[in-house]
Amino acid sequence: MVLNIRQREILDLARVSGRVGVEELAEKFDVTLQTIRRDLGELSDQGMLDRVHGGAVLRSGVSNIGYEERRRMNDAAKASIARTCASQIPDNSSIILNLGTTTEAVARELMSHRNLTVITNNMNVANILVGNESCDIMVAGGALRRSDGGLVGDLTTDFMAQFKPDFAIIGTSALDSDGDLLDFDMEEVRVSRAIAGLARKTFLVTDISKLQRSAPVRIISMARLDAVFVDQPLPDDLMAKCEGWDTQVFVAR
């Protein structure tokens, strides 16, 4: 099917924000709700979006969204999450930062911190923090993924195993209602699991849209986290689980 101009713009909006709403789209394009629902239905039929109550989200599957699209998605939410997370990191700390556009946002918020030691398998994190002269950076070895600047594989996992940092800050591609962190790449998952088991405290940084996505590989449960940093409150049942697990939840403002 050939998309019309409005449908192409709707798809572009979904790629930027991760989600689009029927009412907001109807107002933006000055058309009826039924017209937008038909557009979303056709985009869903073509495998480009998944319908959800009140709108649609980018389709989840067995492969992740491209890095540049992920970088643009929910950028304001990621920035606020990153600021909130960085406020919990004191100077004179050691930190592991793994792959992901939200962990890269945290790196930008650490630019004014002093006397940090940062261990990472994310070349983008290293390139950001090289501008902080008070930050020592240790980059893992491993196979470089050109698509997102990530280092993965057994060499990466072995490198990470040498450290016991104060904090691990990790991201996730998806989050389910049971509180499991999910991802697409088994090699990346192995590194993330290793990182979470090394640090004295493990923090997850993620925007709430990850609850609307799915991925095939389980990383860990939120029960193993010390804190979660999100842009909106978690659903009540998941919040109750976090309270039972003693996992703190920080909602960014």
Quickly state the pLDDT bin for 69 (edges 50, 70, 90): low
In this model, does residue 62 exceed pLDDT 80?
no
Q: Which residues contact 219 (CB under 8 A, 6 or more apart)?
A: 170, 172, 180, 181, 182, 183, 189, 192, 193, 196
Partners of 217 in beta bridges: 183
What is the identity of the amino acid at 29? F
Task: State the fold for domain 5-58.
Answer: Arc Repressor Mutant, subunit A (1.10.10)
State which H helix or E strand residue 120 sits in.
Answer: strand 116-120
Angle at CA of residue 204, ends 184 and 137, nearest 5°: 90
Give the pLDDT confidence score for residue 216 in this predicted structure: 85
**What amino acid occupies position 159?**
F
CATH fold for the domain made of 67-251: Rossmann fold (3.40.50)
Radius of gyration of the chain (CA): 19
- pTM for the complete prediction? 0.74
Instruction: Say which range, 38-47, 76-85, 133-142, 202-211, has the weakest mean pLDDT.
Output: 38-47
Domain boundaries, the chain: 5-58, 67-251
Per the listing, tokens 């990153």 go with 82
| Pairing mode of beta strands 180-183, 150-152 | unpaired
Per-residue pLDDT reduced to its tens digit, 31-53:
999 999 999 998 888 778 888 88
The answer to whether the beta carbons of residues 182 and 218 sit under 8 Å apart is yes
Confidence label for 12 from pLDDT (cuts 50, 70 and 90): confident
Q: Predicted confidence band at 63 (pLDDT cuts at 50, 70, 90)?
A: very low
Instruction: Decide if pLDDT at 65 tops 60.
Output: no
Q: pLDDT tens-digit profile of 244-253? A: 999 999 999 8
Q: For residue 218, how many C-alpha atoms fall within 13 Å in the half-sphere facing its CB?
A: 8
Average of per-residue pLDDT values in the chain: 89
